[in-house]
Amino acid sequence: MQELWKQLGSPRHLVVFEAAARLGSFTKAATELNVQQPAVSASVKQLERTLGAALFHRSHRKIALTMAGDRLLADVTRAFEQLAHSAAAIRQLSRPDYVTLSASTAFNNYWMMPRLAGLQADYPQIDLRLQSSDREPDIDAENISLAVRRGTGDWQGCECALIAMEVIYPVAAPSVMTVAAELRDPSNLLTQRLIHLEEPVRERPAWSDWFANFGVVGVTPDGGLRLNDYALVLQAAMAGEGVAFGWKHVTDRLIRQGLLAPRLDWQWATGQGFYLVWSKRRALSKEAQQVRDWILSQS
C-alpha cells in the first residue's frame, strides 16, 4: 500500500480525479466536493506529475480524458464501486432485521435451503444471510448472529442448542447401493469405490473411523475419490461416483427424494452433535431469536 501512494501521491487525488472525469468538469467536481475549483485543478495536476502522464485534454471551458485518463478512470471506478459495496454490506450488519447464519456449504444447501421458504413465509420481514464457510468463524469478531458447529456443545463464550446428534451411515446413488446392499459385513465395503471427505480446516471423521467402529481395524481405505467439501461429496454420490458418508440430518431429505439410498443397518452414532451456536457476550436481536427458534423447531 505504501508503494501505491508513492505512485499516486494521495488518495484524495483519486477522489478529485474521479469526480472531474465523471462530471466532465473541474468546476462541477469542485461543487460536488465542496472545494474551490483551483483546488481541483491543482490536485489533478499533482496526480499527473506523480504518474508522469496527462490525464485530461484541456481546452476553454472543456476537458476530455486522455487514453491514460480513460484507463485510470476504469480502474478507479471499479475500486470505488467495490468499496461502496463493502461499506453498504458493513452498514447492514447493524440493522436489527439482519441475521447471519454461518454453516458449511452442505448444511446450507441440503438442510437450510429446502426449508428457507417456510422461514420466509413465517417471518417475511427478516433479512437472512446464509454464509458458507470451510472453518469455524469467530462469531463475535465477525458479527455473526448464528452458526452451526459440530462438537459436544461446549464452546467458550457461546450458547448453543442441539440440532441433531451425529449419525453416519453409507449412502450412494440407488443404482450403486443396489450392489452395496448385497454386502454382508461392513468390511466388505472396502471392495467398493469410496468417496472421501478431506476438509482442510474442520475436524471430521473419516472412513477409517467408521470402519474402526465396526471392528475393521488396521486397514486404511486409500482408494476412491477425494473431495474437500461435503456438498461436493453428496453431489458425487448422487452422480453414482461411489459410496459416501451420509450424515443423517443432511441426507434424510435426499433419501426421501430417492436421490440417495442408505445402509441404515450400518449406522454409527459418534456421540458428537451438530449445534446451533450464538454469542454469550452479545444479545441476540429479536429477529435472530426468531430464526434460532425456527431452526430448532425444524430439527
Residues in the chain, pLDDT under 50: none
Asked if 132 and 100 count as a contact pair (C-beta separation under 8 A), the reply is: no
pLDDT at 150: 95
The CA distance from 26 to 58, in Å, is 10
Q: What pTM did the predictor assign? A: 0.70
| pLDDT confidence of residue 140 | 86
Q: What is the pLDDT of residue 220?
A: 75
Please state the three-class secondary structure of the chain as a single string.
CHHHHHHHCCHHHHHHHHHHHHHCCHHHHHHHHCCCHHHHHHHHHHHHHHHCCCCEEEECCEEEECHHHHHHHHHHHHHHHHHHHHHHHHHHCCCCCEEEEEECHHHHHHHHHHHHHHHHHHCCCCEEEEEECCCCCCCCCCCCCEEEEEECCCCCCEEEEEEEEEEEEEEECHHHHHHHCCCCCHHHHHHCCEEEECCCCCCCCCHHHHHHHCCCCCCCCCCCEEECCHHHHHHHHHCCCCEEEEEHHHHHHHHHCCCCEECHHHCEEEEEEEEEEEECCCCCCHHHHHHHHHHHHHC
Residue 166 has a pLDDT of 97
Single-letter amino acid, residue 276 = L
Give the chain's length.
299
- The gap from C-alpha 170 to its chain's centroid, in whole angstroms, comes to 27
- For the chain, give the mean pLDDT: 90
pLDDT, tens digit (0-9, with 9 covering 90-100), for 45-76: 999 998 899 999 998 778 999 999 999 999 99
User: CA-to-CA distance for 53 and 59, rounded, in angstroms?
Assistant: 17
CB-based contact 230:150 (threshold 8 Å): no
With 0-12 CB in 10 A as exposed, 13-18 as middle and 19+ as buried, what is 39?
middle
What is the model's pLDDT at position 185? 92
Write phi, then psi, for 129 (nearest 5 degrees).
-115, 120
Same fold, 2-92 and 96-299: no
- Report pLDDT for 257: 96
Convert the pLDDT of each residue in 142-166 to its tens digit: 889 999 999 999 999 999 999 999 9
Whether the CA torsion 155, 158, 164, 170 is positive or negative: it is: negative
Q: What was the pLDDT predicted at 6?
A: 64
* Pairing relationship of beta strands 225-227 and 261-262 according to DSSP bridges: unpaired
CA–CA gap between residue 270 and residue 194 (Å, rounded): 20
Every domain of the chain and the residues it spans: 2-92, 96-299
Q: What is the CATH number of domain 2-92?
A: 1.10.10.10
> How large a percentage of the chain has pLDDT more than 90?
72
What phi and psi, each to the nearest 5 degrees, are found at residue 71?
-65, -45
Q: Under CATH, which architecture does the 96-299 domain have?
A: 3-Layer(aba) Sandwich (3.40)
